[in-house]
Amino acid sequence: MKTAVVMSEDAAWTIPLDDEYLKCLPKIGLQVIDHIRLSPDTTDFTPVFNKIEGEKPDVMITGISHIGVQPTVQWAQQHVPVPMFGIASQATSSTFWKDTNGTADGVMFNMVSAPTWR
């Protein structure tokens, strides 16, 4: 992979996240060709995905939470040929499969647990 688009919801928590994405991705060899901030009220991601697809990045790096499962559902239904990586906090929910009507097939998430005792 050589090129990336950063796509995050416009929320306070994604400001430092995006700053780090924009700083770190080039250090690992990914040229960031676009940085998209989405309104948390966004319900139709078709124009966003069309724009991203037109830019032909190798990967889309996300920071999404409050906009819900809709981006994942529309990404799958529209067969967007750009893989999504990053943070999609809804994917950690036990209801994610049901919430996406099964379009979450192939969606994986990383989780790190640390002991609360020390």
**Residue spans of beta strands (DSSP E) within the chain:** 3-9, 31-38, 59-64, 84-88
- pLDDT higher than 90, residue 112: no
Asked whether the CA dihedral 64, 41, 101, 74 is positive or negative, the reply is negative
Q: For the purposes of burial, counting CB atoms within 10 Å of the CB of 107, is it exposed (0-12), middle (13-18) or buried (19 or more)?
A: middle
The backbone torsions φ and ψ at residue 103, rounded to the nearest 5 degrees and listed phi first, read -75, -5
Q: With contact defined as beta carbons under 8 Å apart, do 99 and 70 qualify?
A: no
Q: How do residues 18-47 score in pLDDT, each as one tens digit? A: 999 999 999 999 999 999 999 989 999 999
Closest CA to 87 of 10, 17, 12, 24: 17
Mean pLDDT confidence for 82-92: 79
More confident: 112 or 27 = 27
Mean pLDDT confidence for 95-114: 62
- pLDDT higher than 60, residue 108: no
- pLDDT higher than 80, residue 95: no
pTM value?
A: 0.82
